[in-house]
Structure 1
Amino acid sequence: MPHRPEIVCICGSTRFLDQIRAANRDLTFSGVIVLAPGEADVSITDEQKAALGALHLRKIDLADRIMVVNPGGYIGESTSREVAYARAAGKPISFTDPAQDVS
């Protein structure tokens, strides 16, 4: 049976969409299956935002590890929740920029 590629879930604020896309591209070209945040080009309702947040937690469930895109060390409320969820699930976590410990 062939080796399954690593699955990485990218987490981070959608304000860093360009950096998230770059991380997605770099990981994909290195042979990784990437699960990325849903992109909302237009404003979305609170209900839609909550649904996307719940869906992203399921992506974390599928992933072997998560990569947090956090330029300047920034980690917002949603990303903090995702990091805590991944930690509770025992997923390895990496950061694109040095970050303080996120509980």
Structure 2
Amino acid sequence: MHHQTPYSSASRPKIVVLCGSTRYWDQLAEANLYETAAGRIVLAPGCNLKQPHPLWADAAQADRFKTVLGDLHLRKIDLADEVLVVNPGGYIGESTRREIDYAHSLGKPIRYTHPVDGGDGRG
């Protein structure tokens, strides 16, 4: 008997990972909304370290947490079929740049919400 796996990559929705600075938390949420409405599975940053929270209240914790989250996001890129960079005003920060380079190295398609500026992207 022929069994179709319920989540073969052909039948499951496309997985998109959002990359971008958490300074654009609202824009990341908006991109999540639109991508979800378009029927895609969305992987996104789950913590905004720019907002105070007990989990990263002290500086040492915050540094450790930042490293963990950075690595976690690379694993999200591993899972994703494509990358959507949320870059209002063309801004791409250092960690987002690293994520884009990583996605490129894996041959993942990359989309941008805004035109990419011609400079080094530090805006």
Runs of 5+ consecutive residues of structure 1 not aligned to the other structure: none
SS of equivalent residue, structure 1 residue 19: helix
> Which residue of 2 is the match for residue 31 of structure 1?
39
Q: In 2, Cα distance between the equivalents of 1:48 and 1:39?
A: 10
Q: In 2, Cα distance between the equivalents of 1:38 and 1:49?
A: 12
Using CA pairs under 8 Å that are at least 6 residues apart, name the structure with larger relative contact order, 1 or 2.
1
Task: State the Cα RMSD in Å.
Answer: 1.5
Q: Post-superposition shift, 1:42?
A: 2.1
SS of equivalent residue, structure 1 residue 8: strand
Q: Deviations over 1:18-71 (max 9, x none)?
A: 000000011101110000012233263110001000000000000000000000
Q: In 2, Cα distance between the equivalents of 1:79 and 1:65?
A: 15
The answer to whether the aligner puts 1:16 opposite 2:24 as a matched pair is yes
The answer to whether the aligner puts 1:51 opposite 2:68 as a matched pair is yes
The one-letter code matched in structure 2 to 1:20 is: L
Q: Larger C-alpha radius of gyration, 1 or 2?
A: 2
Q: Within 5 Å, which residues of 2 pair with 1:73-88?
A: 73-88=90-105
TM-score by length of 1: 0.92
CA contact (8 A) 2:91 2:117 kept: no
Question: Which stretch of the first structure deviates more once superposed, 35-44 or 50-59?
Answer: 35-44
> Which residue of 1 is the match for residue 59 of structure 2?
none
**Which structure 1 residue ranges, 4+ long, deviate > 6 Å from structure 2?**
none
User: How many pairs are equivalent?
Assistant: 102
> Which residue of 2 is the match for residue 98 of structure 1?
115
> Which residue of 1 is the match for residue 87 of structure 2?
70
